[in-house]
Amino acid sequence: MSYQPQKNRYQAMQYRRCGNSGLKLSALSLGLWHNFGFVNQIENSRNILHTAFDNGITHFDLANNYGPPPGSAEEVFGKILKSDFSNYRDEMVISTKAGYTMWDGPYGDFGSKKYLVSSLDQSLKRMQLDYVDIFYHHRPDPDTPLEETMAALDLIVRQGKALYVGISNYKAAEAERAIDILQKLGTPCLIHQPKYSMFERWVEDGLMDVLGNKGVGCIPFSPLAQGLLTDKYLDGIPADSRVATSGVFLNQNSITPEKIEKVKRLNEIAQSRNQKLVHMALAWLLKDERVTSVLIGASKPAQVTDAIECLANISFSEAELNAIENILNR
């Protein structure tokens, strides 16, 4: 039997306007950074996507290099999109990116017009799409003039290959320059995707102010610090955790006794709010109205439905915020 989404899927989700644009995003978006490559079970990937859509998550975030191997997340997503979601494409916001190494030679990396246009063409083929809703430049390029990179994004919109464009991993000053260049070209920057969590706060050093002042949305990735801001590590490192199995983005050296002590104390505040730590960590980002949406990852469907529970309480008292700051700054 073909997939039939829940009829009431838009009732429980919150939707937020993205900067000064007309586009709204679900308060939580699903990132396909992990768990959607060829190395993963496609049925599990399919069930995660069904669960997200059934619960009002409309935004699905990819990049050319997601997998493993690179490109495979887009290909898997494209297959599931065609078989299960073909009638619902217009209810979905699909994004992809280019900026990291994707193929050999001088044209498969960073920010030249040659790379960005070629990469998006490849992404569209893998996902079997005519266009994406958002196309991002994934990271700044120190060697390509910013004017060329932004002109490539503008061209891609004019070609009809993307409806909106964004940037990712840009610091405040370079983000402001990029936003201004795009504005002059007539293709406004819709959104910025930075790494942002209670444990990763460089965006507060000017970037959030730039985005707020310029009317650009913000969608943090790694909001749970690769799982550290959950109850998973309260009693040590579990055998099935990402730290124990891969250690690529979060390793045992980064899980210090001091860090675990902070996690335990944050968990106590979450409990006093009748929340799990994961819910409080997501709510802590969503409390800022400049944050349009928060990207979550999931290795199983239950993690999606669990994350959505954060929306039950995204307001904080001044005392709670002060207590959190005291823990994080110790």
H-helix or E-strand spanning residue 25: strand 24-26
Distance between CA atoms of residues 263 and 330, nearest Å: 12
* pTM for the structure as a whole: 0.95
For the chain, the structural domain boundaries read: 15-226+277-315
| In 55-161, alpha helices (H) | 72-84, 113-127, 146-158
Tokens of 237: 């490192």
- pLDDT less than 50: residues of the chain: none
Distance between CA atoms of residues 35 and 230, nearest Å: 19
How confident is the model over 209-227, as pLDDT tens digits? 999 999 999 999 999 999 9
Please report the DSSP string for 68-84 in residue order: TTTTHHHHHHHHHHHHH
Residue type, 90: D
In this prediction, residue 302 carries a pLDDT of 98
- What secondary structure letter does DSSP report for 220? -
CATH fold of 15-226+277-315, please?
TIM Barrel (3.20.20)
Residue type, 23: L
How confident is the model over 245-279, as pLDDT tens digits? 555 556 666 788 899 999 999 999 999 999 999 99
